Structure 1
Amino acid sequence: MISPAVVFVAIFTFIPIIASLVLSFVSWDVITPPKFVGLANYAQLAQDQSVLRSFGVTLVLAVAIVVLQLVLGLGLAVLVNQRKHAWSKAFFRTTFYLPLLASTAAVSIFMGYMFDAKFGVINYYLNLLGVPSVPWLTSPVGAMVTIVAVTVWQQVGFTFVMFVAALMSVPREVLEAAAIDGAGPMRTLFRVKIPLISPSILFASVVAMINAMQLFDQPYIMTKGGPGTATTTATITMYQSGFENLQFGYASAIAIVLLLIILAITGLQFIAARKLVFYQ
């Protein structure tokens, strides 16, 4: 029964990972035959400041995206969960989840026009209010803030829906006991609800971090990794090395290092979860 899923994962996940691992030990430009170079690609990567900088940019963007996604998702879920009418809950669940269904590339192109420094709609209305134009995509800080905002706006629906489902599963008798003991809304949220839904928070944080560490579409389409290298992520560097410079061995080495970093971060999340996550 699970064989179709196993075959799918093997073809599109395990085999590409193994192929990337093998390619990371060779020098290959597609035109000439591959040449085994051992750990030379990794040695070059360790000294390549542009690649190391891209990993730093990736970590900064990922942390900002994950924190905002979790906080906003939980906040929206708490507010929607307090709605009394079922139709209003369904309306907000659909509304907040819809951006996630849109193509990331299409959203990035649209937002690129929206945040354009000269012709963007946002700066147009800011100017009408007497506010000078903001260099959303033409300054390092502005570009990073804009990419984080666009990414969180599109992906917050995932954590939102997950947290809504988790909050709905909190036993009513536990909430009633907290109310009888005199716990207010904030105390109930932080002392009762969040501990009970902590497994869902862990899952959401792990998935969000994995996705954020592979961020590509938004920075590549909206800024091309600029201005300068301010928003050049590890995946953009990997793409440029492989498909623009035809250094597929070096690009594979970057991919393997990125995979190891993601595995390490995920491992740290699970280690931290031993004391922060409570299972019923």
Structure 2
Amino acid sequence: MMTATTERRTQRAAEVAARRPAAKRARRRESTFGFLMIGLAVVFVAVFTLVPILASLGLSFTSWDVISSPEWVGLDNYVRLFTDGPVLASFGVTIGLALAIVVLQISLGLLLAVLANNRKRNTTRVFFRTAFYLPLLASTAAVSIFMGYIFDTKFGLINYYLNEIGLPGAHWLNDPFWAKVTIVMVVVWQQVGFTFVLFVAALLAVPVDVQEAASIDGAGPWRTLFQIKIPLISPTILFATVIAMINAMQLFDQPFIMTKGGPGTATTTATISMYQAGFQNLQFGFASAIAILLLVIIGIITAVQFIAARKLVFYQ
């Protein structure tokens, strides 16, 4: 009896020992594949992000017009940048537009997601997700050209229908205030689908038992929304806010195509100033300095958002 038991144990140990090298080889293959994927991602980021940033940083200390060789000028471009009133004003315009866009995009996306999530039929939610996401798939340049016609003061559809109901039309693209409002509306209309889809998915992931427990405790729909659902989806709100702010700070297509940065400099953003310095005036060193300052500002804003998130974001 003892001999048979010992033999079985010996045989089992031999089988385990035989399987161990195969398991090690499988883990090694998985690790190699994982490192390969990470390596490709690192190479992609390095080539298309880090290299351009470092190149711009280097150019920001030079004077370069593409035709001649770059000439080292030290901090001259940055001194000029911080004493150039119109360029500094463009950063103010950028921050103002970005704040308006992000607030409206996040709040409107959340509102639409809550309304769509309350629909009992899944086909209705799918319809709303598709309808609100479609503008995001359209070319920004095409949308900007189309909206330029829609908001045209003389021949635009907006003023036409306002006049039809007895209301005066506005100088949507020719007045400094209304030009900013128009840009914000167009950007929010096209981008809100991104936050809407994120928030719908996040709301669907809220545990049903938590909502049922809140209902049993007497919480109504509004209390459940603000005290249960929104805290639980706060990580998604943070992600959407960070991405929306980064995109809004790089705003270029809509103001450039619809208003050319005007009237005056009312909608001239930092990226438009960068374009004018680099591609119109052939001052690529100065344009690079603008780009580096914009990168630093975006980094600071993103860092502030993550610091604030420590107290405002709830992680399960």
Same fold, TM-score > 0.5, yes or no: yes
- Report matched runs for 1:70-89 at 5 Å: 70-89=106-125
4+ residue runs over 3 A deviation: none
Alignment equivalent of 2:308, drawn from 261, 272, 279: 272
Alignment equivalent of 2:272, drawn from 236, 240, 250: 236
Larger radius of gyration: 2
Alignment equivalent of 2:166, drawn from 130, 154, 170: 130
What are the superposed Cα offsets for residues 1-26 of structure 1, whole Å, 9 maximum, x if unpaired? 32333332222111111100000000
Which sections of structure 1, spanning at least 5 residues, go unmatched?
none
Whether 1:106 aligns to 2:125 is no
TM-score (norm 1): 0.99
Q: Which moved more, 1:31-40 or 1:213-222?
A: 31-40
- Residue identity in the other structure for 2:98: A
Structure 1 residue 129, shift from structure 2 partner: 1.2
Which sections of structure 2, spanning at least 5 residues, go unmatched?
1-35
How many angstroms apart in 1 are the aligned matches of 2:224 and 2:206? 12
How many angstroms apart in 2 are the aligned matches of 1:170 and 1:147? 35
Identity of aligned residues (%): 73
What are the superposed Cα offsets for residues 82-140 of structure 1, whole Å, 9 maximum, x if unpaired? 10011111111000000000000000000000000011011111111111221000000
Alignment equivalent of 1:62, drawn from 92, 95, 98: 98
Whether 1:220 aligns to 2:282 is no
- Report matched runs for 1:256-267 at 5 Å: 256-267=292-303
How many angstroms apart in 1 are the aligned matches of 2:161 and 2:111? 28
Alignment equivalent of 2:222, drawn from 177, 182, 186: 186
What are the superposed Cα offsets for residues 213-246 of structure 1, whole Å, 9 maximum, x if unpaired? 0000000000000000000000000000000000
- Report matched runs for 1:139-154 at 5 Å: 139-154=175-190
- Residue identity in the other structure for 2:313: V
- Secondary structure, counterpart of 2:82 in structure 1: helix
Whether 1:206 aligns to 2:279 is no
TM-score (norm 2): 0.88
Alignment equivalent of 2:85, drawn from 45, 49, 55: 49
What are the superposed Cα offsets for residues 140-166 of structure 1, whole Å, 9 maximum, x if unpaired? 010000000000000000000000000
- Residue identity in the other structure for 1:16: P
What are the superposed Cα offsets for residues 32-62 of structure 1, whole Å, 9 maximum, x if unpaired? 2111000110000000000110000000000
What are the superposed Cα offsets for residues 156-197 of structure 1, whole Å, 9 maximum, x if unpaired? 000000000000000111100110111111111111100000
Match of 2:62 in 1: 26
Higher RCO (CA 8 Å, separation ≥ 6 residues): 1
Q: How many residues align?
A: 280
How many angstroms apart in 2 are the aligned matches of 1:209 and 1:12? 21
